[in-house]
Structures are given as structure tokens and as C-alpha cells.
Amino acid sequence: MRPLPLLAVLLALSGPAAGADEAPTIVGGELSARWPGIGALMHGPLFGCTAFLVGPDLVITAAHCIGSDTVAPPDVFFTGPDRDHVLNSYPIATITPHPAYDPATAAFDLAVIRLAEPAVEAVIEVRTTPLTNADIGLPVWMAGYGRDENAQSERKRIGATTIAELIPDNVVVDGLPQGCFGDSGSPLFTAGGGAQPVALGVASFISHENCRGSTYYQRIDRALPFLLGFEGLCVEGSLCSDALFADDFGG
């Protein structure tokens, strides 16, 4: 199966006049301002991928989101429910893709961004324990920006789902809500009962162009040696943030 990257194709577009098939987002989710540490990237005036805080000045996104021969790298990470209600905007200092990232196969589709200044939003911790088959069926959350089934874009939407499958490099989720183009770089994470959110994966690609198939997330546990090399990374159980999330999962 050829990967269909969850690209933020609004990079090549300046506004909502784009066709609906070019930039959908989480299908079947709901608009939300929760988890303010989940934000988005800007490439100058153009909207980019989803990204999320994993340390005071560290952000994770998908490696295929960080620019190409025709698209400049992102220069700003912003937080807020949509680009019309920005909470904070942070300039980007450095971008480091995983050294084993392969655009042809989407292997290790993950990159770390260092902000030029610390963010004030609560972070999402990174899971350090390996995923196993016992995690299949685990309740998880997904959140991202982009277009939904009604072609609305650039607004954060969330949805609850479960892990359907684990393969060597990816966590797979099926059904609705469903990731789609524009959700690249968004986290798949656990949360609930006041617990700190913990990221398991980074949105990478989908199995069908109509966004009704499976969503594949790069497994964070497979990228741990790379991630642990970044000072300030908030790992599972480190209690990097004092924020509580008691409303998530009905907790």
C-alpha cells in the first residue's frame, strides 16, 4: 500500500477557496479548545500541519510537514482553537527530522521542533513503555486542524477512538472519528481521570483518499532513542505540567 500522507495541503493554498477534496481533517470529530498544547504550524502566511508540545520549548510533528523543495519550512507554532483565535504564537528556532525518515515508505515520519522561547501551554508527555498487543482496544484521543467532512478547515477538532492494530512502525485506528488531510503531525494520546495526556503516536498517513479508511500513526516508542536526545523532553510520569485534565474521557 502506498502511503497517503496526511499533508497540510493548505501550504499551497492561501484560504478556504480550495476544493473540499484537497484538505479535509478529522472526520466525525468535534470542535474543541481542549488540550491547548496541541497547536499548528505556519509557513509564513500559510497554514500548515498540526504539532504538539512535548516540553517547554519542544514540539513534535510529522517529518513530511517540515518543508520540501517547493515549500519553505514552518517558522511559527501557534496555539488556539483556530487561526482566528490564536492564544499564543512562538517562533521556531530549529527543526530536526528523524534521521531514518523515508518519504517513500513514511518510515519514522516524525520531527522535533525547538521553539525560540518556552511556551506557556500544558505539554503532552511522551510514552516510554513499548506498545504491545495488550494495547489493542485501548481508548485513545486524536486531535488536529484541517478540513472536516463539511470542508471546514483550520479549526481544532477532537475525537475518541480505540487502537485497532499495531504494526512494526505504526499504530492503526479505524472507523470514526478518522484522521484526514491536514491532520499530519497530530498526536494519538491517552488521557482521562485527571491524568496527564501521554502521546503514543504522530499522525502520518491514511489508507484511502476519501478519509474513510485507516489512519496510521508513527509509533513514538519506535522513535524513543531519537527523542530522548532532546533536552527538556517530557516523558511519561515526569509530571512536567501541573495542569489537570479531569474532563477528558468523562473523568
Structure confidence by residue, pLDDT tens digits, 65-106: 997 666 778 999 999 888 788 889 999 999 999 999 999 999
Question: What is the phi/psi pair of residue 227, to 5°?
Answer: -65, -40
Q: What is the pLDDT of residue 21?
A: 29
Q: Are strands 139-144 and 125-126 parallel, antiparallel or unpaired?
A: unpaired
Give me the residue label for grid cell 517562533: 91
Q: What is the pLDDT of residue 63?
A: 95
Question: How does residue 214 score in pLDDT terms, banded at 50, 70 and 90?
Answer: confident
Output the CA torsion sign for 115, 118, 122, 125. Answer: positive
Share of the chain above pLDDT 90, in %: 50
Q: What is the pLDDT of residue 22?
A: 27
Q: Using the predicted structure, report yes or no on whether residue 150 has a pLDDT greater than 70.
A: no
Question: How does residue 25 score in pLDDT terms, banded at 50, 70 and 90?
Answer: very low
Least confident among 40-44, 78-82, 150-154, 172-176 = 150-154
Least confident among 89-98, 178-187, 240-249 = 240-249
Closest CA to 6 of 138, 180, 214: 180
d(CA 116, CA 123): 16
Q: Which residue has the higher pLDDT, 62 or 250?
A: 62
- The mean pLDDT of the chain is 79
Q: Which of 40-49, 55-64, 173-182, 232-241 has the highest mean pLDDT?
A: 55-64
* DSSP state for residue 5 in the 8-state scheme: E
Q: Which residue has the higher pLDDT, 61 or 8?
A: 61
Domains and CATH numbers, the chain: 4-11+23-232+244-250 (2.40.10.120)
pTM: 0.83
